[in-house]
Amino acid sequence: MATGAGSLMVVVPPRRVHPEVMAAGPTASSRRGVASRAAVTAEPAAGANGAVAEIEKKIIEAFEVFDHECNKTVDVREIGSIVRSLGCFPTEAELHELLAKVEEEEPTGYIHLEKFLPVMTKVLLDRSYRPIPEDVLLHAFEALDENKCGYISKEKLVKYLTEEGEPFTQEEMEDMLSTALDPETNTVHYRDYISMMTVDET
Amino acid sequence: MGSGSSVNANYKYSLQKSENAFKAAVLIQRWYRRYVARLEMRRRCTWRIFQSIEYACEQDQIKLHNFFSYLMDHFTPSSSKERDFISRMFVSGESFKEAELEKYCDYESMEVPDSYTGPRLSFPLLPDHATALLEAFKQKQQLHARYVLNLLHETRKHLKQLPNISHVSTCYSEEVTVCGDLHGQLDDLFLIFYKNGLPSPSKSYVFNGDFVDRGKQSLEVLIILFTFLLIYPKEVHLNRGNHEDHMVNLRYGFTKEVMQKYKVHGKKILKMIQNVFCWLPLATLIDQKVLVIHGGISDTTDLDMLEKIQRNKPRPAQAPSMANRLEFSRWVRQTVQEQIEWCRRLVDISESESEELTYSSMVSLTDLDGPCWTRQEEWKQILDILWSDPMPQEGCTANTVRGGGCYFGPDVTGKILEKYNLQFLIRSHECKQEGYEFCHNRKVLTIFSASNYYEIGSNRGAYVKLGPDLVPHFVQYQANKTAHTLTMTQRISRVEESAFRALREKLFAHTSALISAFKAYDKDNTGRIALSNWATAVESVLHLGLPWRMLRPQLVPSTADGMLEYKSWLDDLAMEQRSQEHIQSSLLEVIYRNRSNLETIFRIIDRDHSGLISFEEFHQTWKLFSAHMNIELTDDGINDLVRSIDFNKDGNIDFNEFLEAFRLVKQSQ
């Protein structure tokens, strides 16, 4: 069809995209992240009931969001984000424990879906790493607020969170302060902060 | 000296206190890290939404194009008038010889009134002209059409004598700056010049295509780039991108922008630009070591061929290979049926007819007085350069998402780099979160210079500087003050909102298909579907490859029993869309799904880009469509149809009226 000089549109029959089948190993999928991702079609364990199948589909979806090369692997450093975005609140120590279960014998820096899926399914079924209810979080902040005045000074908060517990990196601390800190008083009013963050969650 | 027990008690108390502080800290950290992870997931999902919608839209364009292709192959004009109309409609007059073009786009007789306060250009251009233009555009002034045309003529003259592949050397100016897609975002260009300096004898620039479309100041970007090109021809290099193409411009906004800004002379300007685009060089080579192309490469990329071909020649007639002719026809039929709702039945092709067509098409393919390559081979080279994308896997496959070029793997990159003794490739064509990204083991660099491409806060833009050592240095930016003052959460929320709005619109556009898909899970016709099935159903209709279970909380209200009342959910979506649209129609959905297709059809029919179609044009087009879609309508019927849709009775049809036409016809069937 003549559409004039310089028109570079081309006629190419579309390729029927086949959904990836789980456990088939790295596939030669066509487009990174887009055309090759049909509906999650991974077959759940034989005999599993509907709830488990649904959980597995959720895990696979979350995993694939971080699977940049479309080969059923993710960088080990992203596992924390995946686990947490599935609704879990592990500590760093708990995360390391989980990693030990899903890593290869010789750590390659990558985690495979086939190892991750059963471990994560169990985590979700057992409801490990439960969420932190709002009131418990509030008590935690109050524990750091000696005078019980409803706010913590920036210096104090920084000291606690970067020196105690499982310390924040400087970046994490700055990020939190960017939302939590009231710049006029240099304090964090933790009740307000918590309610703002919890609204955001839903 | 206090009593022993109170010291002990104090000690115990402070020990417990520090234990509590430790526990509290762990809790807060644990909670916060989970919050950040969720935010990261949301950010990535949002990105995926935008990308998949963008690429799906590009696919639509291809399908529309294929539809026209099919029509062209099978329509037999019943009169010379119709024949003329068809050839006018589908051949956009590129056969304009140089002299004809100059005559048609003449500017010398155009007078510039004294009241005009914008910049006045004289040729040859000087650096002062560039500064004046930059200042004028900052003040939102418009360059007079006469100067625009003059500039375009001079640009064309200059580009014609350039080779297909530009050569840049870092020994003349110490550094070369390479910029990626700008897409009409003038603010980004200003920002680049502000941070990096204007082009000059000591500051070389390569602009790697896609200067126009999508952004609202494509013409200004083009004018500035062409101006600098003429002032500093040795230092400024432009590569053609896939958006430097009039068919793409029809759909993605550049044509519209020019016609809106230049109501009287827009046509001429567009004609000139169309021609100038054809003359843009295809690639740039830095120090013979770094190849800069807009899209990418393929396993058949041949730089020697690329250097020799005539880059401005019109594309050859498209025809599939003889062996696949029937399959192709069948596929085209299927594609059209899927995509264009109002084409119900298609004309059957007899075998003999198709054989004949094939033969004649094949004959037209060979260029008898050309070099040893066929036109098809030459065009494949250009398409690959302008449309390809890298992929992580090895190999080279057709780029079905874009409809042109390939996906090329690291092995292809390695092969081509070795063949031509290159160090790495620089390309653009794909939006990247940070404005740039390496792949293929740092052998391919993607550079993208349009910040906030999808939405404010969606991504940064970047440019890359290379010195004689050819080590890339990046500068990133984001051309919107608001983006800086927002917190990470706010930025993500904002972009997310935009993405979900677009997604909801897409869902609405597929209402009836969704209802059928849901019904398949709702055999008892309860009007409800399990949330777990919702995701599978939606993907089977939209084919966007999105993580629907992750997105579900934002699209569907949560329910106590995990069941969704899908009809009322879809009704809610409809209400949201209808409130934004004047057209009252129960088939709003059909129109929505085909809206951009129909708009493109409209613009193709609207040859003089006036925003209106005459009754005559509409009549001809309608006959064309109805003959092959088996929609029966006599001449009187068409006239009645035409009169009934001319709402404002001005004797012309504008775009909204055009949309209405399709609704009307579908109803009366």
Q: How far apart are CA B535 and CA B564, in angstroms?
A: 11
Inter-chain residue contact A6 with B246, CB threshold 8 Å: yes
Residue B337: pLDDT above 60? no
Nearest to B32 by CA among A191, A201, A183: A201
- Which residue type sits at A136? V
Amino acid at B341: E
Helices B145-160 and B266-278, packing angle to 10 deg: 20
B270 contacts B258 by C-beta, under 8 angstroms? yes
Residues 6+ apart with CB under 8 A from B31: A89, A132, A137, A140
Q: Do B48 and A29 touch (CB under 8 A)?
A: no
Q: Does A171 touch chain B (CB under 8 A)?
A: no
Cα of A106 to nearest chain B Cα, Å: 23
In degrees rounded to 5, what are phi and psi of residue B290? Answer: -120, 120
Tens digits of per-residue pLDDT, A38-51? 333 444 444 457 78
Has residue B99 got a pLDDT over 60? Answer: yes
- Eight-state DSSP code of residue B263: T
Could you identify the residue written with the tokens 């210079």?
B449
Q: Can you tell me the mean pLDDT for B359-380?
A: 54
Instruction: List chain A residues with CB under 8 Å of B487.
Output: 178-179
- pLDDT score of B585: 36
How far is C-alpha B302 from the geometric centre of its chain's CA atoms?
26
Helix (H) or strand (E) holding B252: helix B246-252
Q: DSSP label at A86?
A: T
Which percentage of chain A shows pLDDT scores above 90?
31
Segment B645-664, tens digit of pLDDT: 665 667 777 766 666 555 54
For chain A, how big is the Rg over CA atoms in Å? 23
Provide mean pLDDT across the span B151-161.
95
> DSSP H helical segments within B75-93, as ranges?
80-90
Partners of residue A152 in chain B, C-beta under 8 Å? none
Which residues, including other chains, have CB under 8 Å from residue B534's CB and lie 6 or more apart?
Answer: B518, B548, B552, B556, B564, B566
* Partner residue facing A1 (CB), from B318, B392, B487: B318
Count of CB atoms situated within 10 Å of the CB of B355: 12
For residues B30-51, give the mean pLDDT: 87
Average pLDDT over residues B256-274: 89
Chain A residues closer than 8 Å to B32 by CB: 168, 172, 176
pLDDT, mean over chain A: 76
B499 is written with which tokens? 């993405």
- The tokens for B436 are 């740039």
Amino acid letter for position A128: S
Q: Which of B83-92, B164-173, B302-311, B475-484 has the lowest mean pLDDT?
A: B83-92
Peptide bond into B316 cis (omega under 30): no
Per CB-CB distance under 8 Å, the chain B contacts of A15 are: 398, 400
Q: In angstroms, what separates the C-alpha of B404 from chain A's closest C-alpha?
A: 6
CA distances (Å), B168 to each of A174, B233, B418, B466, in order? 44, 11, 20, 11
Instruction: Please give, rounded to a whole number of angstroms, the shortest distance from the CA of A75 to a CA of chain B.
Output: 15
Q: What are the catalytic residues of B?
A: 243
Is 90 exceeded by the pLDDT of residue B345?
Answer: no
Give one DSSP letter per residue of B8-21, joined into a string.
HHHHHHHHHHHHHH
Chain A environment of B411 (Cβ under 8 Å): none
Contacts of B615 (CB under 8 A, 6+ apart): B642, B646, B651, B652, B653
Q: Does B126 touch chain A (CB under 8 A)?
A: no
Q: How far is CA B448 from CA A34, B148, B240, B298, B643, in A?
A: 19, 27, 15, 21, 48
Decide: B52 and B549 in contact? Cβ < 8 Å: no
Q: Which of B16, B17, B19, B35 is the best mutation test for A, with the most CBs of A within 10 A?
A: B35
Residue with more model confidence, B324 or B193: B193
CA atoms within 13 A on the CB side of B42: 23
Nearest to A3 among B48, B92, B391 (CB): B92
Instruction: Return the ∠ at Cα B577 (arms to B576 and B581), rounded to 5°.
Output: 125
Flag whether residue A34 sits within 8 Å of chain B, measured between CB atoms.
yes
Relative orientation angle of helices A134-144 and A154-163, to the nearest 10 degrees: 110
Which pLDDT belongs to residue B657?
Answer: 66
- CB–CB of A8 and B401 under 8 A? no
Please write the tens of the pLDDT for every residue from B618-627: 776 666 655 5
pLDDT score of B606: 72
DSSP string of B557-596, one letter each residue: ---TTSEEEHHHHHHHHHHHHHTT-----TTHHHHHHHHH
Of the residues B17, B18, B31, the best mutation for testing chain A's interface (the one with the most A CB atoms within 10 Å of its CB) is: B31
Please provide the size of chain B in residues.
669
User: pLDDT-based confidence at B633, cuts 50/70/90?
Assistant: low
Closest residue in chain A to residue B53, using alpha carbons only: A34
Confidence band, pLDDT 50/70/90 cuts, at residue B130: very high
State the pLDDT at residue B364.
36
Q: Is the pLDDT of residue A62 over 80?
A: yes
3-state secondary structure of B372: coil
Residues 472-491 on B with a CB inside 8 Å of A are 487-489
Quick check: A132 contacting B, CB < 8 Å?
A: yes
Q: What is the pLDDT of residue B144?
A: 94
Q: Cβ–Cβ of A34/B335 closer than 8 Å?
A: no
The answer on pLDDT for B67 being more than 70 is no
- Quote the pLDDT of residue B236: 96
- The confidence band for B93, taking pLDDT boundaries of 50, 70 and 90, is very low
Would you call A11 and B318 a contact, using CB atoms and an 8 Å cutoff? yes
Residue B513: CB atoms within 10 Å:
15
Q: What amino acid occupies position B467?
A: G
Phi, psi of B237 (to 5 degrees): -130, 135
CA distances from B229 to B149, B153, B201, B274 (A): 16, 13, 12, 18
Cβ-defined contact of B539 to A197 (cutoff 8 Å) = no
Q: Which chain A residues in 41-80 lie under 8 Å from chain B, judged by CB atoms? A: 50, 53-54, 57-58, 61-62, 64-66, 68-71, 80
Q: Are B315 and A5 in contact (CB under 8 A)?
A: yes
The predicted structure's pLDDT at residue B662? 54
pLDDT at B191: 95
Q: Could you tell me which of B313, B471, B443 has the C-alpha nearest to residue B381?
A: B313
B245 touches A: beta carbon within 8 Å: yes
Say yes or no: B382 contacts chain A, CB-CB below 8 A.
Answer: yes
With beta carbons under 8 A apart, name residues in chain B contacting A81.
Answer: 37, 40-41
CB contact under 8 Å between B48 and A33, yes or no, is yes
Of B176 and B340, more confident: B176
Q: What residue type is assigned to position B362 of the chain?
A: M
Nearest to B92 among A4, A12, A39 (CB): A4
User: Contact, B113 vs B219, CB < 8 A?
Assistant: no
Q: pLDDT at residue B630 above 60?
A: no
Closest CA to B277 of B189, B211, B180: B211
User: Token digits for B271?
Assistant: 């004609």
Contact A8 B247 (CB under 8 A): yes
The answer to whether residue A156 neighbours chain B at the CB level (below 8 Å) is no
pLDDT for the residue numbered B584: 34
Q: Is B242 on the interface with A (CB under 8 A)?
A: yes
Backbone φ and ψ for B555, nearest 5 degrees, come out as: -110, -25
Query: How distant, in Å, are the alpha carbons of A133, A158, A191, B24, B42 from that of B29?
Result: 14, 12, 16, 9, 20
> Closest Cα of chain A to B486: distance in Å?
10
Q: Which of A4, A9, A168 sits opposite B93 (nearest CB)?
A: A4
Could you tell me if A154 and A187 are in contact, meaning their C-beta atoms sit under 8 angstroms apart? yes
State how far the Cα of B573 lies from the Cα of B555, in Å rounded to an integer: 10
Higher pLDDT, B353 or B528: B528
- pLDDT for the residue numbered B110: 87
Q: CA nearest B183: which of B545, B563, B453?
A: B453
What residues does B425 pair with on adjacent strands? B291, B444
Nearest C-alpha in A relative to B316: A2
Average pLDDT of chain B to the nearest whole number: 78
Arithmetic mean of pLDDT, B305-313: 88
The DSSP H or E segment spanning A187 is: strand A187-189
CB contact under 8 A, A40 and B535: yes
Per mean pLDDT, which of A70-74, B366-370, B517-521 is the most reliable? B517-521
Helix (H, G, I), strand (E, B) or coil at B210: coil
Do residue B24 and residue A143 have CB atoms under 8 angstroms apart? yes
Question: What value does the mean pLDDT take over residues B51-70?
Answer: 64
Could you tell me the CA-to-CA distances from B492 to B35, B65, B484 in Å, in that order?
13, 36, 12
Q: How confident is the model at residue B238 (pLDDT cuts 50, 70, 90)?
A: very high
% of chain B surpassing 90 pLDDT: 39
Composition of chain B by helix, strand, coil, percent to 5: 55, 10, 35
Share of chain B above pLDDT 70, in %: 71
Nearest Cα to A121, choosing from A52, A74, A69, A167?
A52
pLDDT of residue B330: 44
Range ranked top by mean pLDDT from A193-202, B443-452, B496-505: B443-452
SS3 B612: strand
The answer to whether the Cβ–Cβ distance between B315 and A2 falls below 8 Å is yes
Helix or strand (DSSP H, E) at A7: none
B315 at interface of A, judged by CB pairs closer than 8 A = yes
Q: Does B401 touch chain A (CB under 8 A)?
A: yes
Return the structure tokens found at B232.
Answer: 């500093």
Among A11-25, A157-171, B52-66, the range of highest mean pLDDT: A157-171
User: Average pLDDT, stretch B5-31?
Assistant: 82
**Model confidence at B295: pLDDT above 70:** yes
pLDDT band, residue A15 (cuts 50/70/90)? very low
Is the CB of A26 inside 8 Å of chain B's CB atoms? yes
**Would you say the C-alpha torsion A131, A136, A138, A144 has a positive or negative sign?**
negative
Cβ B517 vs Cβ B538: under 8 Å: yes
Q: Which candidate from A64, A131, A140 shows the least CB-CB separation from B28?
A: A140
Instruction: Tell whether A25 is within 8 A of chain B (Cβ).
Output: no
Position A115 pLDDT exceeds 80: yes
Provide the pLDDT confidence category of residue B509 given band limits of 50, 70 and 90. confident
What distance in Å separates residue B325's CA from the closest CA in chain A? 12
pLDDT band at B300 (very low <50, low <70, confident <90, very high): very high
Chain B CB contacts of A9 under 8 Å are 61-62, 65, 245, 247-248, 403-404
